[in-house]
Structure 1
Amino acid sequence: MDTPVTFPLPPDLPQPVDDGAARHLTGMRLPELQLPCTDGSQVALNLLAGRTVIYIYPMTGRPGVALPEGWDAIPGARGCTPQSCAFRDHHGALRQHGTRVFGLSTQDSAYQREARERLHLPFELLSDQALQFGTALRLPGFVAGGMALHKRLTLVLEDACIVKVFYPVFPPDGNAQEVLGWLRTRA
């Protein structure tokens, strides 16, 4: 197995602001829908038992494929790969807190599978390509390069109910540590 690499963020990224678009999420139960997973299964979100972290990100880049024009100028867009790598690197500590992890984007499962393998992620990614999850929860989003994308946020669930929302998430590579800090206050 190759040594996982990290992806540093440029120092001058624009910081997203809290526009209030995620305030309604705390206390919501996840909808009765299934999302495709990188392991080929379908995950019934409303049946997730115990504690789950779902970090939601716009899109991961792919080597040799250009990101949408102006990507780095969109507050909160850049940093999906560093965020995923941080959740990878903190996965053991998250598991010690009895927490399951999923990443979620609007990319299809085949695209996500390549990223999962390339980045050596020890957890699965969920595809909201049809925007079912985003629509049901009224997630904040944006359009770039003709694609509908979710803004970056992280949900902590207990028995499929949202108990904590991290939004906006910045810097993205610090999100896993921020989630761990919050979980430690709940122990």
Structure 2
Amino acid sequence: MDYLTLPADLPVPEDDGATDHLPGVQAPNLSLLDTAGRAVRLDALGPRRTVVYVYPLTGRPGTDVPEGWNSIPGARGCTPESCAFRDHFHDLLEAGAGRVYGLSSQDTDYQREVVERLGLPFDMLSDPALALADVLGLPTFEVAGMRLFKRLTLVIRAGAIEHVFYPVFPPNAHAQQVLTWLRENPL
């Protein structure tokens, strides 16, 4: 399977309203480990905007994704999404993002390999217990005995969620969507 190319017939996720409650909500006092080994507190990210794109799981070459992955709306596309954030990273910073993080339930060692393999210029956050989903009521789904985040992006500023992108589709164009929003909503 080519993790960088998205099939043309992927099902489009529907907006089920699962994140409508989030804009204006305070970021939780929750520490997550990043791929540099630091504890990152989401409520203490500072006054600049932080973009946190949340996704189900990143596949690895030679490792199968769960059966039926391509038929789950919004599941496929984590690697192309991360590569797009990599490719637009400096543009995002110039448009007002203070930092960018990717976040999934995969452990820190797994995430560290993704950062190295994809050459990401930012750290990833690991939330194997899906604590962020539980505390904020983020949407999740189950597949192959795993509970995973649904794809969404949080823009956090001064300790509060300023904006939410949900659902995210197509994932490979999402970094551009975030960049456009940042440019259209300067501080």
Q: How would you bin the TM-score normalised by the shorter chain?
A: over 0.9
- Whether the 8 Å contact between 1:128 and 1:134 is mirrored in structure 2 is no
1:46-125 paired onto structure 2 within 5 Å: 46-49=43-46, 50-99=48-97, 100-125=99-124
**Structure 1 residue runs of 4 or more that deviate by more than 6 Å after TM superposition:** none
Structure 2 unaligned blocks of 5 or more: none
- Distance (whole Å) between structure 1 residues aligned to residue 80 and residue 120 of structure 2: 12
- Distance (whole Å) between structure 2 residues aligned to residue 75 and residue 15 of structure 1: 5
- How far 1:134 sits from its partner (Å)? 1.0
Q: Which residue of 1 aligns with 2:28?
A: 31
- Whether the 8 Å contact between 1:32 and 1:45 is mirrored in structure 2 is yes
Letter in 1 for 2:165: F
What SS does structure 2 have at the residue aligned with 1:54? strand
Could you list the per-position Cα deviations for residues 48-94 of structure 1 after superposition, in whole angstroms to 9, with x for gaps in the alignment?
01110000000000111100010000000000000000000000001
1:165-184 paired onto structure 2 within 5 Å: 165-184=164-183
Structure 1 unaligned blocks of 5 or more: 1-5
- How far 1:157 sits from its partner (Å)? 1.3
Aligned residues: 182
Letter in 1 for 2:40: V
Q: TM-score normalized by structure 1?
A: 0.95
Could you list the per-position Cα deviations for residues 19-52 of structure 1 after superposition, in whole angstroms to 9, with x for gaps in the alignment?
1111111111111110011111110111001110
Give the fraction of aligned pairs with identical amino acids, expressed as a percent. 58
Q: Which residue of 2 aligns with 1:3?
A: none
What SS does structure 1 have at the residue aligned with 2:176? helix
What SS does structure 1 have at the residue aligned with 2:172? helix
- Distance (whole Å) between structure 2 residues aligned to residue 181 and residue 136 of structure 1: 29
Please say if 1:148 is aligned against 2:157.
Answer: no
